Amino acid sequence: MAHLTYFTGPMNCGKSTLALQVDYTESTAGRRGLRFTCFDRGGEATISSRIGLVRAAIEVTPSFDFWAHVTGELTGGRRVDHLVCDEAQFYTEAQVNDLARIVDELGIDVSCFGILTDFRTELFPGSRRLVELADRIEMLQARPRCWCGAPATHNARVVDGVMVVEGDQIAVGDTEGGGAGVVSYETLCRAHHRVRQPAVGRGVDATPDPLPFGEA
């Protein structure tokens, strides 16, 4: 029985690395797969990991039709055993619906990889639909850490050294930082995301306010 699986976690947890590993492992078993991506930091039509792995992939645009593409492969006499779908948080709800249909009606395994929430801590539409439809959700175990040492669970957008919580949901950037006006991202624990402190010495003081014991 085919399955729709969503592998997820914050940035820097190895999603793209695992996507390429799954594709490699499936291929060594003689299974033919298709790789998809969307807004990869390495450029269009590419799955790239931060440890240096890079493979070509099919770019998913808002108008891309998964069902038509896969059935076109099959009717053209090309076998398709599995799909690897990276950056799945950027897919539309209709595209996720098509992935579920591919699993159910064509018997093809679909493995999706992406982050759950954006820099505002709100679910991406693609991630929300995957949570609603996936047969299995796997939280990746290579958990990044906040600068304070706590496990990082939230993605922060940083512009000119300042964490921002307003703007377009999609703005491509990486965790390496950059020059003036360049969008970058950091992974933070909930506490430091809540007070908008992306790194030591930036933002506001994260020291908790004293409790009002002893006040008159």
What amino acid positions are annotated as catalytic residues?
87
Query: Encoding tokens for residue 64?
Result: 């891309």
**Residue 82 CA: distances (Å) to CA of 28, 62, 91, 107, 173:** 13, 22, 18, 9, 29
CB 23, CB 55: distance < 8 Å:
yes
Which residue has 């890079």 as its token pair? 54
Torsion sign, CA atoms 49, 5, 45, 73: positive
Question: What is the signed CA dihedral for 131, 136, 141, 143, rounded to 10 degrees?
Answer: 0
Distance from C-alpha of 176 to C-alpha of 41, rounded to nearest angstrom: 11
Residue 111, class by beta-carbon neighbours within 10 Å (0-12 exposed, 13-18 middle, 19+ buried)? buried
Q: Give the strands of the sheet with 154-159, arranged side by side.
A: 162-164, 154-159, 183-188
Distance from C-alpha of 21 to C-alpha of 17, rounded to nearest angstrom: 6
CB 122, CB 167: distance < 8 Å:
no
